[in-house]
Amino acid sequence: MSEEVSFEQLLNDSFKTIHTGEVVEGTVIDVKSDEIILNIGYKSDGILTKNEYTNDNSVDLTTVVKVGDTMDVKVLKTNDADGQVILSYKRLALDRGNKRIEEAFNNKEVLTAKVVQVLEGGLTVVVDEVRIFIPASLVSDAYEKDLSKYEGQEIQFVVTEYNPKRRRYIGNRRMLVTAEKAEQAKKLFDTLNVGDVVEGTVKNVTDFGAFIDLGGADGLLHISEMSWGRVESPKKVFKVGDTVKVLVKSIDGSKIALSRKFDDENPWKDAETKYAVGNTVTGKVARMTDFGAFVELETGIDALLHVSQISKEHVDKPADVLKVGDEVTAKIVDFNEEERKISLSVKALLAPEADDNNDEVVSVDIDKAIEEQKEEN
pLDDT average per 10 residues of sequence, the chain (377 residues) = 48 65 93 94 90 86 95 87 84 87 95 93 90 95 89 95 90 95 92 94 94 93 90 91 95 93 86 91 92 91 93 90 93 90 91 47 50 47
Same fold, 2-88 and 271-376: yes
Q: Which CATH class is domain 2-88?
A: mainly beta
Give the span between the Cα atoms of 57 and 55, in whole angstroms: 6
Report in angstroms the alpha-carbon separations of 164 from 85, 169, 221.
27, 7, 50
- The answer to whether residues 104 and 111 touch, using CB atoms and an 8 Å cutoff, is yes
Residue 339 contacts by C-beta under 8 Å, 6 or more apart in sequence? none
Query: For residues 333 and 309, is the Cβ–Cβ distance under 8 A?
Result: yes
Task: Tell me which fold the domain 192-262 belongs to.
Answer: OB fold (Dihydrolipoamide Acetyltransferase, E2P) (2.40.50)
Give the per-residue pLDDT at 148: 92
Please state the pTM of the whole predicted model.
0.57
Query: Cα–Cα distance between 25 and 30 in angstroms, integer?
Result: 15
User: In DSSP terms, which residues pair with 168 in a beta bridge?
Assistant: 163
Burial 182-192 (b: 16+ CB within 10 A, else e): eeebeebbeeb
Q: Bridge partners of 256?
A: 219, 251
Domain locations in the chain as residue ranges: 2-88, 94-177, 192-262, 271-376
Beta partners for residue 132, in sequence order: 125
Whether the Cβ atoms of residue 71 and residue 24 lie closer than 8 Å to each other: no
E strands within 120-196?
122-127, 130-135, 154-163, 168-172
Query: 337-372 burial by CB neighbour count: b if 16+ within 10 A, else e?
Result: eeeebbbbbbbbebbeeeeeeeeebeebbbeebeee
How many Å separate Cα 33 from the centre of its chain?
Answer: 41
* Helix residue spans in the chain (DSSP H): 2-14, 90-107, 174-191, 271-274, 347-350, 366-376
Q: Is 85:44 a contact under the CB 8 Å cutoff?
A: yes
CATH class of 94-177: mainly beta
Q: Which CATH number fits domain 271-376: 2.40.50.140, 2.170.260.10, 2.30.40.10, 3.40.50.10320?
A: 2.40.50.140
